[in-house]
Structure 1
């Protein structure tokens, strides 16, 4: 599979862009274990234009994580075009436009999946961003606003006509948020539409390599994007023969922490990493883990968090 000139190999797995999740340490670990493409946290076009420091820090990328995409969202043509031009200076491999985020603070302002209620504007933004940059432009969206407006089959053709070089489809409507089950049948219809020639990336409810392969087999998608199942599990992408031990996995989480503290700062590096630690399923075998989880979420110093992890390691060995 290729996006532009970027060769992503056969049946590639992508890490979804997720706010407060896909920080640089996590991305580098996912890349190490087999993610073919990773994305930064998505960023607001308005915040990029205003040079908000916390936003610009989210789009710092490292050559070791390439190919890497930066995803932007906004609600008007001018700001999206200007943000795309600014983001291009960071030299991402792909600029992705978010027309899929369902959260109220984004969608209710007309951005993200809110754009699914204004298709003419959605298409105009896409056309103008494509024209404004030389970097490949891709789009991530949903099936439609609700079950009465499942527009993705027509929308995919319209987006392709705007010049995008790949399309990611999350198999839910905006009204579903993250509830219910992702419906891949319409994703498959888009992929099997003879008029579609750009890569189609499927997303939604994939929690293992085995499930990803089933989606490739059943729906013929070009790539599978994995999101929430990766929380605290960057090794989810591991397709190698080597089985990771619990010790290996704790080492990986500790390395993520060190990378984030070094590349961001201690406070925010810990803030990002402790979310992964608290969500990681590897600690489920610890008796009364709830108290340990609370300690993880309250930790403010790297040494404190490392000590908690080492304590978990000892408990898991028993």
Structure 2
């Protein structure tokens, strides 16, 4: 059965009735009483108790192998009529470089200016342009347009991709919409001017450097003489510290960290953050300072010279976008920079009872957060960003800080190993982005992060934890939150002994994942220990729990068992079934149909094309992240198929078929089926397309995969 036929069949009979399995023999008849294991016995073995009439014989391949779903079995591929090359082959650097060079020489690598206007003369570089200007060659190689309309037209904006858009045939068609489109926009993008300064190591961090000096954490990062305390503008000549090394207190060697910057990008500093006060020279006129207090906070736009108001979206209107404000009205009045707010006087975020979507690696991108926001999330947080990459101006890392206009309470999560790196990163984020809070990840279990001294490694170094939290919390005026695990080694929990100190160091909220670093995602989360920590926490520190929440009953149980717990963070449960947020809001088990699930995927694709672009590259990027998400959603078992509800996050689904063909395909752990679903939404995959899930979320025998 080809994709077109499947789509037509799905549209003809959406979800009513029970159809035969998509592929393979018909389901076996129910066994006599006593022949099939009892549901309680299956639950005891962490096997999902699927009703007998939906069970079917397993395929020849093993479900628990790490390669499950890679379509390596030829017999399975023939039955599923799917490509056999879904395992991503490893290419050498030379091969990748050769492919990039060939792509640049291709007519498909057309100049963006020419593509946007459709006119060869639109490019100002003419023959010196590194892109192709061959329109005839481009149209000869361009794949056919996809079905549907351009996503940018639906939001009332002209398509920025012009003829390269995979929906370019619909650009001249009127959009049929009875209601005006809701204004949708993104902020927190990395500006080119700032990126160039970061590349050249020419961004100064006066607040972070002053705070590090006060805390005695300057280490090897020596700077030249600090300016007078009353001088409100720091000149670039005073911050030309060339040293960018700090002492690794574990190995006793010098290591590279965030570099001292030279010219001041924002030249405002606080009087009480500097030492050695001296009398200001009355002969030198003072320049106007920009206010650094919460009221009237301004954010510089390097491209337009305008400023956008503050951290709570007060200057952002959902209908009109960012509002430009005159700099004269913000910076003309003199501000007493000595009035630094106490950490307890900051604007706090009330997490109590709120649905907090966890920062999720790879899948927790902006389009996915928009899906979760529409399904009931109250607070969202971006994916974990590495501080060193942010300070070096990596565009891919800054993309993790992007915020959509629908995210009314939004935070970013960062990860770093040293207080100087983290302090400068939080100052840069606070200065350049609109965020409501910054979260520091001290629980990441990934080896590449831990081996560099970040993530869970900080749990073994409480004094460095103290330095990191103090330096970061005193550098910014927005709330600082921390995410940790119970400890580094299994059976040796330690957060309960640090929880009071974490509050004193300046954190506003603490999220505890109920597993140790050594456990990764194996075994169930230890909620009794989370309750113990919440009861020990001071009133000023909000404590949130995290781990294994997969139904509204789990949410209710944790809230009732420990009233001291402010809220619970939703993580893997939202990856597998994002409508979990709706279930908690509406206090019900949602037996969601395959058609409703498919509509959610449609919305994700539309949001992805708006975010990553509707050209060929944007379509394939959207496809990639859709496939990564499908590698999690296949673990969901519909409520109507279970003998015992609700489903638990650690249950392994047996081989079963759904109530129709689409539901059966969505339950498959084969990447070949995920690709078929993506083709129903984004057209045929390119020739030679390969895919393997990054986190092997369809492999159940690996501890790190749950």
Q: What's the TM-score bracket when you normalise by the shorter of the two chains?
A: 0.7 to 0.9
More strand by share: 1
Mapped contact 2:623–2:682 kept (Cα < 8 A) = no
CA distance in 2, matches of 1:21, 1:253: 13
User: What is the aligned counterpart of 1:247 among 567, 572, 595?
Assistant: 595
User: What is the aligned counterpart of 2:621 among 268, 278, 286?
Assistant: 268
CA distance in 1, matches of 2:382, 2:670: 29
Return 81-90 or 46-55, whichever deviates more: 81-90
User: What is the aligned counterpart of 1:294 among 658, 672, 675?
Assistant: 672
Where does residue 138 of structure 1 map in the other structure? 481
User: What is the aligned counterpart of 1:219 among 539, 559, 562?
Assistant: 562
CA distance in 1, matches of 2:536, 2:472: 25
CA distance in 1, matches of 2:444, 2:680: 32
User: What is the aligned counterpart of 1:33 among 362, 369, 375?
Assistant: 375
Over 3 Å counting, the alpha-carbon distance change for 1:125 and 1:70 in structure 2 is same
Mapped contact 1:25–1:256 kept (Cα < 8 A) = yes
Where does residue 278 of structure 1 map in the other structure? 631
User: What is the aligned counterpart of 2:575 among 231, 253, 257?
Assistant: 231
Mapped contact 1:278–1:297 kept (Cα < 8 A) = no
Mapped contact 1:31–1:65 kept (Cα < 8 A) = yes
Q: SS at 1:159's partner residue? A: helix
Mapped contact 1:23–1:260 kept (Cα < 8 A) = no
Return 267-276 or 116-125, whichever deviates more: 267-276
Where does residue 186 of structure 1 map in the other structure? 529
Over 3 Å counting, the alpha-carbon distance change for 1:305 and 1:193 in structure 2 is farther
CA distance in 2, matches of 1:54, 1:297: 25
Q: CA deviation at 1:245?
A: 3.7
Higher RCO (CA 8 Å, separation ≥ 6 residues) = 2
User: What is the aligned counterpart of 1:84 among 426, 438, 441?
Assistant: 426
From the CA coordinates, give the structure whose radius of gyration is larger.
2
Q: CA deviation at 1:153?
A: 0.9
Over 3 Å counting, the alpha-carbon distance change for 1:171 and 1:305 in structure 2 is farther
Question: Does 2:534 match 1:207?
Answer: no
Q: SS at 1:41's partner residue? A: strand
CA distance in 1, matches of 2:669, 2:500: 51
RMSD: 2.5
CA distance in 2, matches of 1:110, 1:227: 24
Q: CA deviation at 1:305?
A: 7.2
CA distance in 2, matches of 1:247, 1:300: 16
TM-score w.r.t. length of structure 1:
0.87
User: What is the aligned counterpart of 2:441 among 98, 120, 125?
Assistant: 98
CA distance in 1, matches of 2:443, 2:460: 12
Q: CA deviation at 1:304?
A: 2.1
Q: SS at 2:389's partner residue? A: helix
CA distance in 2, matches of 1:157, 1:217: 23
Over 3 Å counting, the alpha-carbon distance change for 1:202 and 1:305 in structure 2 is farther
Where does residue 70 of structure 1 map in the other structure? 412
TM-score w.r.t. length of structure 2:
0.41
Over 3 Å counting, the alpha-carbon distance change for 1:270 and 1:58 in structure 2 is farther
Query: What do the CA deviations read for 1:144-169 (whole angstroms, capped 9, x no partner)?
Result: 11145311112111110111111000
Over 3 Å counting, the alpha-carbon distance change for 1:58 and 1:252 in structure 2 is same
Mapped contact 1:29–1:235 kept (Cα < 8 A) = no
Query: What do the CA deviations read for 1:90-121 (whole angstroms, capped 9, x no partner)?
Result: 11111000000111111122111111111111
Mapped contact 2:487–2:495 kept (Cα < 8 A) = yes
Over 3 Å counting, the alpha-carbon distance change for 1:276 and 1:148 in structure 2 is closer
Query: What do the CA deviations read for 1:108-150 (whole angstroms, capped 9, x no partner)?
Result: 2211111111111111011100011111100000111114531
- Matches for 1:22-61 after TM superposition, within 5 Å: 22-61=364-403
Over 3 Å counting, the alpha-carbon distance change for 1:78 and 1:302 in structure 2 is farther
Q: CA deviation at 1:34?
A: 1.5
Over 3 Å counting, the alpha-carbon distance change for 1:133 and 1:303 in structure 2 is same
Where does the alignment leave 5 or more consecutive residues of structure 2 unmatched?
A: 1-345, 639-656, 686-706
Q: SS at 1:205's partner residue? A: coil
Q: SS at 1:132's partner residue? A: coil
Q: SS at 1:224's partner residue? A: strand
More helix by share: 1
Where does the alignment leave 5 or more consecutive residues of structure 1 unmatched?
A: 307-318
Mapped contact 1:14–1:36 kept (Cα < 8 A) = yes
Where does residue 606 of structure 2 map in the other structure? 258
Q: CA deviation at 1:241?
A: 7.4
CA distance in 1, matches of 2:499, 2:571: 21
CA distance in 1, matches of 2:538, 2:438: 24
Query: What do the CA deviations read for 1:175-226 (whole angstroms, capped 9, x no partner)?
Result: 1111111101121112112634311100011111210111111122111001
Return 237-246 or 58-67, whichever deviates more: 237-246
CA distance in 2, matches of 1:216, 1:305: 46
Over 3 Å counting, the alpha-carbon distance change for 1:172 and 1:232 in structure 2 is closer
Mapped contact 2:349–2:479 kept (Cα < 8 A) = no
Q: CA deviation at 1:273?
A: 2.1
